Amino acid sequence: MPPPADAGGGIAVMRPGVSRVSLRRQRRRWGDTVFGSAVALTGGLVLVVIVGMVVFLVLQGLPAMQHYGFFSFITAGRWAPSEADPTLTHPNPYGILQFMYGMLITSLIGMIIAVPLAIGAALVITEIAPRRLQRPLSSLVDLLAAVPSVVYGFWGIFALIPAIRPIVDFLTSTLGTVPVIGVVFGGPFFGVSYFTAGLVLAIMILPIIAAVWREVFRSTPRNEKEAAFALGATRWEMIRIAVMPRARSGIVGASLIGLGRALGETIAVTMVIGNAVLHINPSVFSQGATMSSVIANEFTEATEPFHLSALFVVGFWLLVVALIVNVVARTVVRRGVAL
Amino acid sequence: MSLFEHHLYTSPLKRPSRLLRAGWLTASVGGALLAAACGGSSSTGGGGTTAPSATPSSVCQGTTAPPGYTNGVSTVSGQATSLSGAGGTFIAPMMSIWTSQYASSNGVQVAYQSVGSGAGIAQLQAGTVDFGESDAFMTDSDISKAKGPVVQVPLAQAPVTVAYNLPGVTRGLHLDGDTIGKIFAGQITSWTDPAIKSLNPNVTLPNLPIAVVHRSDGSGTTSIFTDYLTKESPSWVSALGGPDKSKGKTIAWPVGIGGKGNEGVSAAVGQNNGAIGYVELAYAASQNLTYADVKNKAGDFVEPCVKTAASATVGITSYPADLRIDVVDQSTNTDAYPITGLTWGLVYQNQTDKAKAAALVNFFSWVLTKGQDMAATANYTPLGSDLQKLCIAQLHKLTLNGSPVAP
C-alpha cells in the first residue's frame, strides 16, 4: 500500500522525481537538512574538540618529549624540575610514575569506600526507606552531588582531617608496626595524605553514583517486583532477581562517572594530598601528588627548562591513563556485575 | 581585624575561620586574596592576647614611621587613564591598596592580575600587559625572550618568616640558617634535637616529630627562603646536590607537606603540632602565626617585622646599574632580618605609546614615594632610602622613540 500523500515527512517518499511536492513538504525537507547538519555539526564538534585537545597537548609537550624521549616520563618516578638542565637528556627529572600511582591509589580508595555505600544509599532510597522519607533523602543526595569540589577540599582540611586523626594515629601505631604491611600503613600522620584524598574523593563521588543508581533502581517495573514477592522472594531476593539484572548497565555507567570524577578531580585533592612530588611514598598515610594536582600547582610558575612542556606531557598521560582505566573498568565492572 | 592590621604579639594559630576569610577559595583559583580577606571583618576574639616571647625583641616594638619619600619624578603630562599589569601574588594585596588609592587620587585605573611571578614575566614577554611584576628579577635569558630591554624597579622589600606550631612554645624561638637547612632537608626530624636545644637553652621543647611544610606551587617566597638557606647552610646545599639546585622558585623538597600558596602552608602548619613552614611576613602577621627569630650575618637573632626587614638593605652600597641584586642575607647590620628579598616591577625600556609611557612613569614614581608610606602600615616593607633613590633613577631610563619619557 503506497503511503498517503500527506504522511508526516517520511524521507522515503521524498524522491526528486515526484512532481507534486507540496510547499509544506518542501519546507519540511529544508528543515530536515538544517536539523541534520546542525546535529552532525555538534556531534563533529565534540570529536574535533577531543582530537584538538590531544593534538594540542602533544604539540605543547613535544619539546620535552623530544628532549627526554617519549617513554622516559612514565619509566621514571622522580619529579625535580629544579634539577632540569637543558644540556642533559638523562636522567629525566620529570618522571611521572608517582603521580600515576597517586591518582590510581586515591581513586581506588575512593571507589572501595564509595561503591558499597552508594549501593546501600540508593537501595534505601528506592526500596527500603518509608515513602515519606524517600523524597527528602533523595534531595539530600542530589544536594551533595551539587557541592563544588573546592568546598569538599576545604571541608576535608578543617573537618575531616581533625576527625580522622585519632583513628589514623591508632592505625599507624598498630598496623604500621606490623612487618611488611606496616610499610603501607606507616606514620607519622600529618593530616594531608593519599588516604585523606581518597576519603574526600569517596564522599565526593558517593552522591553522584547513588543519584544515578537511584534512578536506575526506580526504573524497575512495579509488576516485576511484585511478581518476585509473589513467588515468595524475600526483599533481598527481590532486589537480586528483579532490580539488579535490569540495573546492570546503569551500575556500570554510574561507577564510571564516579571513577571519572575521582581520576580527574583536581582542587579538592590538591588541598588534602600534601603535594609531595619528589617520589612515591609507600605509606597511604604519607603525602603524595596526582597528575592533575601537579599541573594545578606548578603551571603558574613553570620556569625551569622544559618545565611547562613537561606539565603538558603530564596532561597528555593523564588523558591516556584516564582512557585506559575507563576501558578496563568498563570491562571489569561489566563482568563483575553478573550477580 | 583586617588583613592589614599590625599585630605585634600573637597567639599560636588555631583559627580555621581566619583562613576561611583569607581566601582559600579565591587564592586557589589564582589570586584576589585581598578581596576575600577583607570580606569578613569581625574578629573571632583572642587575637590580642599577649604571649611572652622567648626573648623580648625591642626593635619591633611600637609603630613604624612611614619613610615619607618626596623625590618622585615630576608628573609627565598626557598620560593614559588605564594601565594593566600582571605578576607575583606576594605583592598583590599591597598592589590592590596602591591601585585603589591611585585611582581615587590620580584618576588612573591600574588593573593588576595576581597570576604569579613566572606568568607575570611571560605576559610582559608576550606584550599583553603594560608592566610585569616578579619576586625574582628577570635573568638575561628571560630578557632575551622579551621584545626589548627591560627596566627592573624594586617596589618593596619582602621578608619571609619561619613559622612553627609548637604547643607551649610562644614566638621567638631561635633558629640559625644551618639548623633551618637541616630541618628542611630532613636531617633534623625531632624538636628535641640537640641543634635546636643548644640555640634555645631556656625553652622547653615538646618531644614531637617535625612536620616540614613548603610551597607546592612555584613561588618567589620559596626563592627568597632557599636563597637564605643556600647562603647559610652547607648541609642544605649538599642535600640538594649543589647551589644551583638548592635555591629557586621550585625545589626538589626531600621531605615535607606541600601547601598551595601562603594560605596552604599556614593551614598545614596550623593543623599539625610540630609543624614548621615559611610564610611571607604580611601573611604571617595577619594570620597570627608564631614565627622564629632568625640569626643574621652579624650573629644576632632577629624577629621579623617591618623595621627589621627594612634594615636588611642597610649598609649595602654596591648596587649594580640595572638594580638586579640579591639582597638576601647581605646586610651586616645587627637589626637586619636576613630572610628578606626584593620584589620587582618590570617595564620595557623603549616605550612606543606616549600616553602609556607617561602613565607608567607617573604610577611607578607614585608607588616609590607615597606608595612606600602605605606599605609600612600594611605589613609590607618600604625600600631603604639608598635603594629607593636608585629606583627613582631607573624611571628616568624609560624612553619614548629614543627620547626620555621623564627628563
Q: Provide DSSP, B250-283.
A: S---SS-EEESHHHHHHHHHHHSTTEEEEEEHHH
Q: Point out the residue among B28, B259, B271 whose CB comes nearest to the CB of A150.
A: B28
- Tell me, yes or no, whether B259 lies in a domain: no
Tell me the backbone φ, ψ of residue A125, rounded to 5 degrees: -65, -40
Question: If you measure CA to CA, which chain A residue comes closest to B31?
Answer: A300
Q: Nearest C-alpha of chain A: how many angstroms from B207?
A: 13
The CATH number of residue B391's host domain is 3.40.190.10
Put simply, whether the predicted model's pTM sits higher than 0.80 gets the answer: no
Tell me the backbone φ, ψ of residue B209, rounded to 5 degrees: -70, 150
Q: Nearest C-alpha of chain A: how many angstroms from B258?
A: 5
> Which residue, among B124, A130, B280, B140, has the nearest Cα to B291 in the 3D structure?
B280
pLDDT of B52 over the 70 cut: no
pLDDT of B25 over the 80 cut: no
Are the beta carbons of A297 and B275 separated by less than 8 Å? no
Q: Point out the residue among B217, B219, B257 whose CB comes nearest to the CB of A274.
A: B257
- Tell me, yes or no, whether B133 lies in a domain: yes
Q: Nearest C-alpha of chain B: how many angstroms from A70?
A: 23
- Tell me, yes or no, whether B380 lies in a domain: yes
Looking at residue B392, its pLDDT comes to 94
Strands B293-295 and B174-175: parallel
Q: Nearest C-alpha of chain B: how many angstroms from A96?
A: 14
What are the tens digits of pLDDT across the range B224-247? 999 999 999 999 999 999 998 898
Are the beta carbons of A297 and B28 separated by less than 8 Å? no
- Tell me, yes or no, whether B333 lies in a domain: no
Among B216, B251, B265, the residue to mutate for chain A (most A Cβ within 10 A) = B216
**Residues whose CB is less than 8 angstroms from the CB of residue A256 and which lie 6 or more positions away in sequence, other chains included:** A326, A329, A330, A333
* pLDDT, average across residues A54-65: 92
> How many Cα atoms sit within 13 Å of B197 on the Cβ side?
9
Mean pLDDT of chain B: 83
Q: Is B396 in the A-facing interface, judged by CB distances under 8 Å?
A: no
Q: Nearest C-alpha of chain A: how many angstroms from B58?
A: 35
Looking at residue A295, its pLDDT comes to 93
pLDDT of B4 over the 50 cut: no
A302 interaction partners in chain B (CB closer than 8 Å): 118, 218
Residue B394 buriedness (CB in 10 A; 0-12 / 13-18 / 19+): buried
Q: What percent of chain B has pLDDT over 90?
A: 54
Instruction: Give the Cα-Cα-Cα angle B144, B146, B150 (nearest 5 degrees).
Output: 90
Number of independent structural domains in chain B = 1
Question: If you measure CA to CA, which chain A residue comes closest to B117?
Answer: A301
Instruction: Give the Cα-Cα-Cα angle A270, A272, A277 (nearest 5 degrees).
Output: 55
Q: Nearest C-alpha of chain B: how many angstroms from A284?
A: 14
Q: Nearest C-alpha of chain A: how many angstroms from B220?
A: 9
- Tell me, yes or no, whether B236 lies in a domain: no
pLDDT of B196 over the 80 cut: yes
Alpha carbon distance A275, A285 (integer Å): 13
* pLDDT, average across residues B269-273: 88
Q: Chain B window 82-121: which residues touch A at a Cβ cutoff of 8 Å? A: 115-119, 121
Looking at residue B78, its pLDDT comes to 87
What are the tens digits of pLDDT across the range B89-133? 888 889 999 999 999 999 999 999 988 888 889 899 999 999 999
Which domain does B90 fall in, by range? 82-158+351-404
> How many Cα atoms sit within 13 Å of B195 on the Cβ side?
13
Q: What percent of chain B has pLDDT over 70?
A: 86
Could you say which DSSP state residue B83 is in? E
Alpha carbon distance A145, A323 (integer Å): 23
| pLDDT band at B188; cut points 50, 70, 90 | very high
| pLDDT band at B9; cut points 50, 70, 90 | very low
Looking at residue A24, its pLDDT comes to 59
Question: Number of residue pairs across A and B with CB atoms under 8 Å?
Answer: 106
Among A303, A306, A307, A309, the residue to mutate for chain B (most B Cβ within 10 A) = A303
Number of C-beta neighbours around residue B188 at 10 A: 21
| pLDDT band at B181; cut points 50, 70, 90 | very high
Extract the C-alpha cell encoding A201. 574523593
**Residues whose CB is less than 8 angstroms from the CB of residue A140 and which lie 6 or more positions away in sequence, other chains included:** none
| pLDDT band at A5; cut points 50, 70, 90 | very low
What are the tens digits of pLDDT across the range A260-274? 889 989 999 999 999
Q: Which domains does chain A have, with CATH numbers?
A: 4-68 (no CATH), 97-336 (1.10.3720.10)
Question: If you measure CA to CA, which chain B residue comes closest to A307?
Answer: B250
Complex ipTM value: 0.74
The H or E element that residue B218 is part of is none
Length of chain B: 407
B252 interaction partners in chain A (CB closer than 8 Å): 78-83, 93, 278
B258 interaction partners in chain A (CB closer than 8 Å): 274-277, 287, 289, 297
Peptide bond into A4 cis (omega under 30): no
- Tell me, yes or no, whether B38 lies in a domain: no
Are the beta carbons of B256 and A289 separated by less than 8 Å? no
Are the beta carbons of A304 and B248 separated by less than 8 Å? yes
Are the beta carbons of B257 and A267 separated by less than 8 Å? no
Alpha-carbon distances, residue A161 vs A157, A164, A199, A267, B203 (angstroms): 6, 5, 10, 16, 30
Are the beta carbons of A301 and B250 separated by less than 8 Å? yes
Q: Point out the residue among A192, A276, A300 whose CB comes nearest to the CB of B116.
A: A300
